[in-house]
Amino acid sequence: MNQPHHFPSAPGFDDDVPMIDETMVDHGRAVDFERGMNAIPPLAIGLIATCVVVFVFQVLGGGLQNLPKLIEQGALERARVEQGEWWRLISAAFMHGGPDHLIGNMMMLFVLGMACEHAFGISQFLVLYLACALGGSLLSLMGDKPSVGASGAIFGLAGALIVLFWRTRGRLELRHRQIGVVLAIWAGYQLLLGFGLMGETVDNRAHLGGLITGMLCALILRPAVLETDRKVVEKHPLVRAALAAAVVAVLATAVPFAQHLVG
């Protein structure tokens, strides 16, 4: 290993003056993506808990055995949205069609939510999740069947991570560099599965709408994981404005949704 070169002292200079060595030079090292990641992401867990609570009310209200009841509880249906019940664009993303549907989605939400919450920060993660849920629901409306499930938003999280890793290549270090490829393969496989073997029950429009929305959002969102002080991102005026809009959307959805869910 090359040693730092010490020049002879000039007259009048102290021999104890420190010299620059390799440890004092910033080589622009990439940021370890997984460093500091919270194994218990609060917002992701909060979203999971909300979906579980909603599912319990679905079961108690008989929504799983009765399609008209499921729609009444808050499922996405084009006719209802056209009548002004826009809140269904968000409420449907917190509902599920059965235990296996719920468990599968919640497992992916925990994994991808942990990564996105770490990558973008809590405020931007909430904005991202709601935007992807909305994007998935909007494209789903092009179909003619009622829809429920968080998978549109979850596809959006995967899309956001794929674009993030592409945008920050060279600046983010992934311990498992195949993660971006794995996410892309998973998303592609799920879409093909929906078009093929499970085309009658899987809402691929919601998946595709969420995926596209997540990818577009990742081009705009500011990666908090690259900031020395993550609070800088949270305090940014645009982030605060987007967060305020997201909170308003949640509150405006929660009131009519709760009325239909428990009514």
Query: In which region does residue 76 sit, left (phi positive, over 0), alpha (psi from -120 to 50) or beta (all else)?
Result: beta
Catalytic residue among 96, 101, 118, 207: 207
Those residues with Cβ within 8 angstroms of residue 208's Cβ, 6 or more apart along the chain or in another chain: 136, 139, 155, 191
151 catalytically annotated: yes
CB 101 within 8 A of CB 108: no
**Consecutive H or E run containing 172:** strand 172-173
Q: How far apart are CA 80 and CA 99, in angstroms?
A: 26
Of the listed 137, 140, 147, 151, which one is catalytic? Answer: 151
Closest CA to 261 of 123, 105, 90: 90
In 3D space, the residue among 151, 139, 160, 158 whose CA is nearest the CA of residue 216 turns out to be: 160
**Cβ proximity of 261 and 73 under 8 Å:** yes
Q: Which residues are catalytic?
A: 151, 207
